[in-house]
Amino acid sequence: MNRIRCVALLCLFLTNYCRAQQSGFQKTTAVDSAIIARQDRDRRYNIQNVLIKTKDGASIAAIVVRLKGVTAPQPVVLQYTIYADSTVWKSILEPAVHGYIGVMAYSRGKGLSPDKIVPYEHDGRDANDVIDWISKQSWCNGKIGMYGGSYNGFTQWAAVKYHHPALKTIVPYVAAIPGLGVPMENNVFINANYGWAFYVTGNKYLDEKVYHDPQRWHNMNDRWFESGKPYRKIDSIDGTPNPSLQRWLQHPSFDKFWQDQVPYQADFAKINIPVLSVTGYYDDGQISAMHYLQEHLKYNSKANHYLIIGPYDHFGAQRGGIPVLRDYPVDPIAIISTRNITFQWFDYILKGGKKPAILQDKVNFEVMGANKWEHTSSIEKMASTTLNLYLSNKKVGEYYELSLDKPSEPGAITQEVDLADRKISNNNNYYPFPIIKKELDHSTGLFFMSKPFDEPVEVNGMFGGILKASINKKDMDIGVSLFEVMPNGEYFDLSYFLGRASYAEDMSVRKLLHPGKIETIPFYRTRMVSRQLSKGSRLLVVLDINKNSFAQVNYGTGKDVSDEDINDAKEPLKIKWYNNSFIKVPVKQ
């Protein structure tokens, strides 16, 4: 018995010893790999950390990467970001790997910069000053391009507002617009990015620990929603002041505060450099990326602006997609390399190379379900016609009719929403997951179903419409979702809209509704989509009022929504949706 115990103890000792040796080996290997990688970088590249002074005296930290042995001036590719992380060498070295001088610059206050960190507000001017500094360096040949996604897409548009002659092109992926996409969408503040301010302002680099704590943010959302407190006090629920959010909440309209941060209206008329935009059908920030494109074309009819769009989400668009997106098997042809296309574009613009093969026209889009790319000269030409589908008050089974025929007689559907009730909430299909659903929640909202299509048809573009409604309050937040109902009865999520009725006509000026009066409420800032619908498919529209823990609750008093609380709910919101309301769906038959 003792011998067995001794053998067991010896085996345990040997096992632990081997594990310790293996662990030590792994740690040593990791350290050795890091050392080897650094030695390789030092052998191949000249890497320089610099502080660039802005015209107003701030300092911008930047890393300059040049291939050793190259002495002639070269084109420069700039990334300008608030995501300061000097350890992400793959990204930092990327331009040099592709034959360019690379500059990674960080927003003021980030990295080695001693200044205060303020998201959005200084980036345009600061990026322009960085571009000016780069253009004066002996290693720059006077040609500079910018690229990057999300916030880095925003900084490109913020920079191009200043028209520096050395900036020759930008390649923004899923570009954000402060005030239009984040932290609010169509004037509704949303919680999806609440923790982001802590992530980028918590220290000189990135506060990974705080940001990547989904349980904290989920609990905060639920506790705030259940409490019924004003949205302005949401950070008191979290227990940590959020000064960035409080500053943003002072600007519920798309006012001068937001307008100054990006090109606005006539500013786009002066943007004449080539632009390549990349986004995805399921990018939650797509409305921002598309707004830049549409405004550029609206104010500059000769804008040299290309678009690539496909079945990608916010992160997938930045790399070129993944095989399965939110349980949806993506068409194989949709998988591309965003980075390869980006540097092909830089070769084309900055070095006189060939245009990327995918850019056969200005608008390049993958048709989901057809496994093909299509190319056209404009968003409007993606479709051959537009279906005007009326929200009928006639009901067939559990659905109202979504009809091609304008109603011959006036009618309305009544909806009542108790904004004080916390047992029922609806997120209006925001950030849809999965893309294909076997069933939908019918506990809230109005459902409108079309007749089946007699032949296959493509839904190509952005749906929109006109809602006619009268309410007993002064405002409401509206959600509209568009689905394909496939012949097998499953629901394919196509697009959605979230917006505040009082800003429907102008996002910069609030116009309250008149209780009891029939109002006209247009909506148009929806997600672009391209999808091949099969014969027998139907279209489904779900119309509802936003009330959930993921966004502000608009109680309809007419006060600043951030100051309203559950005591402002009083009587339920009562709506009459009139049957001359309609949606417009662009299709190619």
| DSSP single-letter state for residue 423 | S
At position 533, the amino acid (one-letter code) is: L
pLDDT at 18 over 60: no
- Higher-confidence residue of 148 and 18: namely 148
Q: Is residue 238 part of a domain?
A: no
Q: Is residue 240 part of a domain?
A: no
Q: Is residue 256 part of a domain?
A: no
One domain, residues 435 and 569: yes
Instruction: Quote the CA–CA distance of 205 and 163 in Å, as a whole number.
Output: 29
pLDDT at 28 over 80: no
* Location of structure tokens 């209206």: 265
- Higher-confidence residue of 71 and 21: namely 71
Specify the DSSP element, H or E, that contains 123. Answer: helix 123-135
Average pLDDT over residues 239-255: 97
Average pLDDT over residues 542-565: 97
Q: What are phi and psi of 103, to 5 degrees?
A: -130, 125
Listed residue (79, 75, 95) closest to 141, CA to CA: 75
One domain, residues 372 and 468: no
Number of structural domains, the chain?
A: 3
Neighbouring CB atoms inside 10 A of 414's CB total 10
Helices 2-44 and 89-97 cross at an angle (nearest 10°) of: 40
Q: Which two tokens stand for residue 104?
A: 């990674």
One domain, residues 377 and 501: no
pLDDT at 30 over 80: no
Residue 329 C-alpha from the chain's centroid? 21
Q: What percent of the chain has pLDDT over 90?
A: 89
pLDDT at 8 over 60: no
One domain, residues 70 and 91: yes
Q: Is residue 204 part of a domain?
A: no
One domain, residues 331 and 386: no
Instruction: Quote the CA–CA distance of 71 and 452 in Å, as a whole number.
Output: 66
Residue 567 C-alpha from the chain's centroid? 33
Q: Which pLDDT does position 42 carry in this prediction?
A: 84
One domain, residues 392 and 371: no
Whether 166 contacts 131, CB under 8 Å: yes
Whether 271 contacts 303, CB under 8 Å: yes
| DSSP single-letter state for residue 470 | E
Instruction: Quote the CA–CA distance of 483 and 478 in Å, as a whole number.
Output: 17
Domain's final residue, options 363, 381, 399: 381
One domain, residues 428 and 417: yes
Q: Which two tokens stand for residue 367?
A: 């048709």
One domain, residues 466 and 342: no
Q: At a CB cut-off of 8 Å and minimum separation 6, what does 525 contact?
A: 186, 287, 291, 497, 499
Q: Is residue 388 part of a domain?
A: yes
Instruction: Quote the CA–CA distance of 488 and 571 in Å, as a whole number.
Output: 41
Degrees to nearest 5, angle at CA 59 with 56 and 62? 135
Q: Is residue 398 part of a domain?
A: yes
Listed residue (581, 430, 407, 418) closest to 499, CA to CA: 430
Listed residue (97, 92, 95) closest to 63, CA to CA: 92
One domain, residues 376 and 422: no
Instruction: Quote the CA–CA distance of 477 and 187 in Å, as a whole number.
Output: 9
Identify each DSSP E strand in 222-317 by its residue range: 275-282, 305-313
Specify the DSSP element, H or E, that contains 294. Answer: helix 286-299
Beta-carbon-side half-sphere exposure of residue 416 (alpha carbons within 13 Å): 5
Listed residue (278, 273, 275) closest to 340, CA to CA: 278
pLDDT tens for 339-375 read 999 999 999 999 999 999 999 999 999 999 999 999 9
Domain's final residue, options 173, 197, 223: 173
β-bridge pairing 363-367 and 305-313 = parallel
The residue length of the chain stands at 589
Domain's final residue, options 115, 142, 173: 173
Whether 540 contacts 389, CB under 8 Å: no
Q: Is residue 228 part of a domain?
A: no
Beta-carbon-side half-sphere exposure of residue 246 (alpha carbons within 13 Å): 8
One domain, residues 161 and 80: yes
pLDDT tens for 499-518 read 999 999 999 999 999 999 99
Instruction: Quote the CA–CA distance of 450 and 456 in Å, as a whole number.
Output: 15
Q: Which pLDDT does position 11 carry in this prediction?
A: 44
Average pLDDT over residues 89-97: 94
Whether 482 contacts 541, CB under 8 Å: yes
**Dihedral over Cα of 73, 79, 80, 83: its sign:** negative
Q: Is residue 226 part of a domain?
A: no
Average pLDDT over residues 32-42: 77
**Dihedral over Cα of 459, 462, 467, 473: its sign:** positive
Instruction: Quote the CA–CA distance of 459 and 584 in Å, as a whole number.
Output: 11
Whether 413 contacts 576, CB under 8 Å: yes
Neighbouring CB atoms inside 10 A of 522's CB total 11
Average pLDDT for the chain: 94
User: What is the CATH number for 414?
Assistant: 2.60.120.260
Q: Which pLDDT does position 346 carry in this prediction?
A: 98
User: What is the CATH number for 328?
Assistant: 3.40.50.1820
Burial readout 245-262 (b: 16 or more C-beta within 10 A, e: otherwise): beebbeebbbeebbbebb
One domain, residues 304 and 377: yes
Beta-carbon-side half-sphere exposure of residue 155 (alpha carbons within 13 Å): 28
Structural domain span for residue 319: 264-381
| pLDDT classification of 24: cutoffs 50, 70, 90 | low
One domain, residues 65 and 167: yes
